[in-house]
Amino acid sequence: MVIVALASSVWSQTETERNIMPQFTSPVCVLPRMIVSATVLLLAACVALPITTTGVRADCLAPAKSDDQDVRRNADLLGQDSGLCLSRETFSENGRDWDLTIIRNKVHDRGPLIYLVHDNEQSAFDTALYSVRRYGGSLVAVESGEKRSHAGQDPNRNFAINASDAATCRDMVTKPAPEFTEIMRALNPDRQSFFLTLHNNDDGYSGGGGLGTINVERPSSIMQGMPAPQSASDTDDALLIAGIEPFGANKHARAVTDHMHEAGYHVIYELVKSSNNDCSFSNFVVLNNLGDYYNIETQHGHTAQQKQILDHLMAYLRFRPQNQEVK
C-alpha cells in the first residue's frame, strides 16, 4: 500500500532545493498526517516509489506525448508555461490499474490542490488547470480514457478504508479500496485544511425535465439547494459543501453560503450521515473529519462560469492570484 506524506521539515526547503531534489529509488515508507482508521496500521507497507518533496514523481513529462487526452488538448498551453510540471502516479488495486495525472506549479507550489475524479468532465479539467496557473498549487486527475467510470467503477464511489466503511456503498463494486483512498487523501498537503474537487453535470435534473443529478432546484432529502437571491446564474452551476450537521447548525456552511450568495452564486449543502455513506469523496472527507469539503459543480461546457465560482471561492479561502495574466 502506498501512503504518501511529508515530514514537516520538507516544507522549509527553498524552491531551488525542491526543483533539484533527486528521485528516491529506495523503498519509501511514510505515514499520513492522520490515521483515518486503525485498519490503516495493518495495511501500511513500504514500497519503492520515486517521489519529490511534494509527493509526486520528480521527472516532468512532455505534455504532447501524454496518453491523457485532456493534457494533449492543453499541450500548447502547458508547453508555454515553464513553471508547470506534468507527472503520473500509477498503482493497482482490486484488479484495476489506476493512472493519476498530476500537474503542479513549481514556481508557486503553495496554492490549492484540486481533485478531478471523473475523466469525462472537460470543463472541470480546464478550470483546474486555470487554477494551477493563476493561483499555483496542483491538480490530480483520474485518467479513465475520457469516461466517467474506470474499469467498471465510478472513482467517486471508491473511497473506503475498510469493509465496515464500505458496507452501505451500493455503487462500490469491489470493497474496500484502502490503497486508492489513502493515495488520494495523502496527496492533499498538510498545510491545506480543505479538500477541493471540480465536477460537470448534465443540463437540468431528472424529474424536472433534464438529465442531470445535481441542480440547486432539485428536491432531495440529502442535498439542500440554496439559490442565490435574485440571481440569474444557471441552476446547474453551484458550489456544493458538505457536513454532518443540519445546515442551520453548521456555522461554517452558513458563512460560505453568505459569501457565495453575495456574488450571486448558488450553493448546495449535502447532509452526510454514516448510515447513508455512499463512498463518495465528500462522504469520506466529512465522516472522517479530514477538513472542509468544496465541490464546484457546473454544467458541461460552462468553463467560464466554473472559473468565476472558483475565483470567488479562492477569495474566501484567501488565495491571491500569483499570475494576474492568466484568464
The Cα 7–Cα 55 span in angstroms is 11
Query: Which residues have a Cβ under 8 Å from the Cβ of 101 and sit 6 or more positions away?
Result: 66, 68, 70, 71, 86, 88, 139, 140, 141, 142, 143
Least confident of 44-53, 95-104, 296-305: 44-53
The Cα 118–Cα 200 span in angstroms is 9
pLDDT greater than 60 at residue 86:
yes
- Predicted confidence at residue 29, as pLDDT, reads 31
Among candidates 227, 221, 215, 217, which has minimal Cα distance to 298? 215
Angle at 285 between CA 89 and CA 86, to 5 degrees: 25
pLDDT greater than 60 at residue 310:
yes
Alpha-helical regions (H) of 144-250: 163-166, 178-186
Segment 51-77 shows an average pLDDT of: 78
The label of the residue with cell 471508491 reads: 158
Q: What are the two backbone dihedrals, phi and then psi, of residue 84, each rounded to the nearest 5 degrees?
A: -100, 145
The 10 Å Cβ neighbour count of residue 138 is: 25
Segment 82-110 shows an average pLDDT of: 97
pLDDT greater than 60 at residue 7:
no
Confidence of residue 295 (pLDDT cuts 50, 70, 90): very high
- Predicted confidence at residue 58, as pLDDT, reads 53
Segment 114-141 shows an average pLDDT of: 98
Q: Which residue has better confidence, 56 or 207?
A: 207
Among candidates 186, 116, 190, 195, which has minimal Cα distance to 148? 116
**Predicted TM-score (pTM) of this structure:** 0.83
Segment 148-158 shows an average pLDDT of: 98
Segment 209-224 shows an average pLDDT of: 93
Mean residue pLDDT across the chain: 85
pLDDT greater than 60 at residue 71:
yes
